[in-house]
Structure 1
Amino acid sequence: MRMLMLGGSGFVGRATVAEGVRRGWTVAVFNRGRHGAPPDGVRHLTGDRTTADGLAALADGEWDVVVDTWDGAPRDALAGARMLAGRVGHYVYVSSGSVYAPPVPAGVTEDDAVVDADPAAADGDYPTLKRGSERAVQEVFGDRSLLARAGLILGPGEDIGRLPWWLTRVARGGDVLAPGPADLPVQYVDVRDLAVFLLDAGAAGLAGPVNVVDRPGHTTMGGLLAAAVTATGADASLRWVAPERLRDAGVSPWSELPVWLPPGHEYRWMQQIDVSRAYAAGFTGRPVSDTVTDTWEWLRRVGEVPARAGRPAREPVGLDPTREAALLAEFGTGDPAR
């Protein structure tokens, strides 16, 4: 198989390129070349789709599968798709569950309403950028395009730092503020499982929108944090605190306590996504222990969470240590919350 990766220097892109190489496919990447060289044996096509002549490197060549992670202006996705029209077998666009129109129902399916977006737009917020790019790709490739709507993505190489924050915090040991309930279902996708699905589905010609994430309850907050304790080998004690107490203390889900979306939160649907279509198409997810252990091994090797390729500096993730200590003192022994 001949694969073209549009991007390839960020989290999902690197994992997808690595999977293509592992399969023995002929792989090329198209990007600006500002974030390191691709793996040995991967052809590098240099360009910037946001500039006037930035697609020149794509003027020649044919590929069986193209994978695109673009989250910029839809008009640039449209230009790239038009450049490749007639020379690509199947176009796989890595989109997001963020394209669903609020209020998003629990158990959201691919047939639920999406935000209104223009495929020729020059700007917008994240949901409209992703949805506009979906429309751009479909406008050109039609039923030869897959819209892979990913959920929360974790695993080695994560450049936001959600799971790395938990691992780093647990590794410090001592009492760890753990947001309850411990049996709260958590839904995510390991980046390597996402990459496998993208290439399998692309090669098979799967078309249309597909929610790509593990089943709801693939693990729980308790399972995730217990795996972090095991992976790090730390002398850490999880101090479970009920969500109501955290809410009353002004603790922010997702940002201050990554991954955690408590019952009743407006974005709780993000961990209750229907994935029947993906599993029917062959998606499988590895155990949480593998994701957590492999992420810890990667984090120890690289030393810190890398900068996000081609994107603004990320906002800080996780509780400040001083604030966590104050909260632990306030909550006393904590609640089992099980």
Structure 2
Amino acid sequence: MRLLMLGGTGFVGSAIVAEGVRRGWTVTMFNRGVHGDPPPGVHRLRGDRTAPDGLAALAGGDWDLVVDTWDGMPRAVRDAARALRSAGHYAYVSSCSVYAMPVPAGAGEEATVVEAASDDPRDDDYARCKAGGERAATEVFGERALLLRAGLILGPGEDVGRLPWWLRRVARGGDVLAPGPADLPVQYVDVRDLAAFALDRAAEGVGGAFNVVSRPGHSTMGELLSEVVATTGSDARLRWTDPEPILAAGVEPWNDLPVWIPPGHEYRWLQELDVERAYAAGLTCRPVAGTVGDTWRWLDRVGTVPPRAGRPVRATIGLDPAREAALLAAAGRT
């Protein structure tokens, strides 16, 4: 297979490039060339897809499969898809954020998507950008467009810092504020499982939309954090605390305490999605121990979470130590 990766230096793009190389495919990356170097054996084409004539380097290329992770203005997806319409298949890595609020628990791919246009030049709304990107890919490639609506993505290379924050926090040891309940189901996908599913289905010519994330309850907050303790070898003590005092203190789920979305929260649906279509198509998700362990080894090797190759993270990830200590003291958990 001849794979063209649009981007390829960020979290998801790097994993897809690595998976293509592992399979022995011919892999080409197209990007501006300002973030990292291509792996050995991978050809790089340079260009800025947002600039006039920025896609010129793609002219005359011949690829079986294009994978695109773009999360900016939808018009850039439209323009790239048009330039590459001769390719066999176009896989667009989208997001479950495309669903229009309020989203019911157990939402599947048929749920309403936010309004978006394929020629939208704006990039100020993530959900609209991804929905517009989906529309752009589908308008050009039709049934040859694969839409991968990823949920929470974890694993080695994570450039947001959710699982890395927990690993670093637990590694420091001491009393750790563990947001309850411990049996709260967690739904996520390892980036390597996302990459494998994307390339498997695209190579088969599968089109349409898929929620690409584990089944709800693939792990729990208790299992995840216990695995973090075991992996780091820390003497940390998980102090499980009910959601009410945490929320009353103004702590923000997902950002202040990464991964955690408590029961009843307006975004709880992000960890209660229907994924049976993806599983029926062949999605497999590795155990939590593999994701936590490999992320810890990667983080220990690189030293720090890398900056995002695309749009920056708008929120600070992780709870300030002083706030954590105050919450633990108030709850009598120290």
Q: Same fold (TM over 0.5)?
A: yes
Q: Tell me what 1:176 maps to.
A: 176
Q: 1:134-153 alignment to 2 at 5 Å?
A: 134-153=134-153
Opposite residue 163 of structure 1, the aligned amino acid is L
Opposite residue 195 of structure 1, the aligned amino acid is A
User: What is the deviation of 1:316?
Assistant: 1.6
User: What is the deviation of 1:315?
Assistant: 2.9
Opposite residue 186 of structure 1, the aligned amino acid is V
Distance in 2, Cα, partners of 1:251 & 1:135: 36
Q: Tell me what 2:90 maps to.
A: 91
CA contact (8 A) 1:160 1:314 kept: no
Q: Tell me what 1:110 maps to.
A: 109
Q: 1:145-164 alignment to 2 at 5 Å?
A: 145-164=145-164
User: What is the deviation of 1:322?
Assistant: 1.1
Distance in 2, Cα, partners of 1:112 & 1:313: 27
Q: Tell me what 1:100 maps to.
A: 99
Distance in 2, Cα, partners of 1:266 & 1:202: 33
Q: Tell me what 1:281 maps to.
A: 281
Q: 1:213-292 alignment to 2 at 5 Å?
A: 213-292=213-292
Structure 1 stretches of 4+ moved >6 Å: none
Structure 1 gaps of 5+ residues are none
TM-score norm. by structure 2 comes to: 0.98
Counterpart secondary structure, 1:235: coil
Opposite residue 237 of structure 2, the aligned amino acid is S
Counterpart secondary structure, 2:92: strand
Distance in 2, Cα, partners of 1:197 & 1:294: 19
Structure 2 gaps of 5+ residues are none
Q: Tell me what 2:330 maps to.
A: 330
User: What is the deviation of 1:245?
Assistant: 1.8
User: Does 2:35 align with 1:26?
Assistant: no
Q: Which region of structure 1 is more displaced relative to structure 2, 55-64 or 308-317?
A: 308-317
Distance in 1, Cα, partners of 2:24 & 2:10: 21
Opposite residue 83 of structure 2, the aligned amino acid is M
CA contact (8 A) 1:96 1:130 kept: yes
Deviations 1:233-273 (A, max 9, x none): 00010000001121222221111100000000000000001
Counterpart secondary structure, 1:261: coil
Q: Which region of structure 1 is more displaced relative to structure 2, 10-19 or 305-314?
A: 305-314
Distance in 2, Cα, partners of 1:288 & 1:197: 18
CA contact (8 A) 1:308 1:314 kept: no
Deviations 1:69-91 (A, max 9, x none): 001111111000000012x1110
Residues 310 and 112 of structure 1: CA distance in aligned 2, closer, same or farther (over 3 Å): closer
Opposite residue 120 of structure 1, the aligned amino acid is D
User: What is the deviation of 1:127?
Assistant: 0.6
User: What is the deviation of 1:313?
Assistant: 5.5
Counterpart secondary structure, 1:148: strand
Counterpart secondary structure, 1:63: coil
Opposite residue 228 of structure 1, the aligned amino acid is V
Q: Tell me what 1:311 maps to.
A: 311
Counterpart secondary structure, 2:254: coil
Opposite residue 107 of structure 1, the aligned amino acid is G
CA contact (8 A) 1:182 1:221 kept: yes
CA contact (8 A) 1:49 1:76 kept: yes
Distance in 2, Cα, partners of 1:203 & 1:126: 28
Distance in 1, Cα, partners of 2:314 & 2:95: 18
User: What is the deviation of 1:162?
Assistant: 0.3
Q: Tell me what 2:17 maps to.
A: 17
TM-score norm. by structure 1 comes to: 0.97
Distance in 1, Cα, partners of 2:313 & 2:129: 19
Counterpart secondary structure, 2:322: helix
CA contact (8 A) 1:117 1:128 kept: yes
CA contact (8 A) 2:227 2:289 kept: yes
| Root-mean-square deviation over aligned CA pairs | 0.9
CA contact (8 A) 2:144 2:205 kept: yes
Percentage of pairs with the same residue: 68
Distance in 2, Cα, partners of 1:315 & 1:69: 21
CA contact (8 A) 2:160 2:313 kept: no
Q: Tell me what 2:66 maps to.
A: 66
User: What is the deviation of 1:60?
Assistant: 1.4
Distance in 1, Cα, partners of 2:91 & 2:236: 42
User: What is the deviation of 1:132?
Assistant: 0.5
Deviations 1:166-206 (A, max 9, x none): 00000000100000000000000000000000000100111
Distance in 2, Cα, partners of 1:236 & 1:152: 25
Distance in 1, Cα, partners of 2:314 & 2:191: 19
User: What is the deviation of 1:314?
Assistant: 4.8
Counterpart secondary structure, 1:177: strand
Counterpart secondary structure, 2:14: helix
Counterpart secondary structure, 2:253: coil
Deviations 1:267-318 (A, max 9, x none): 0000001001100000000000000010000000000000000323653211
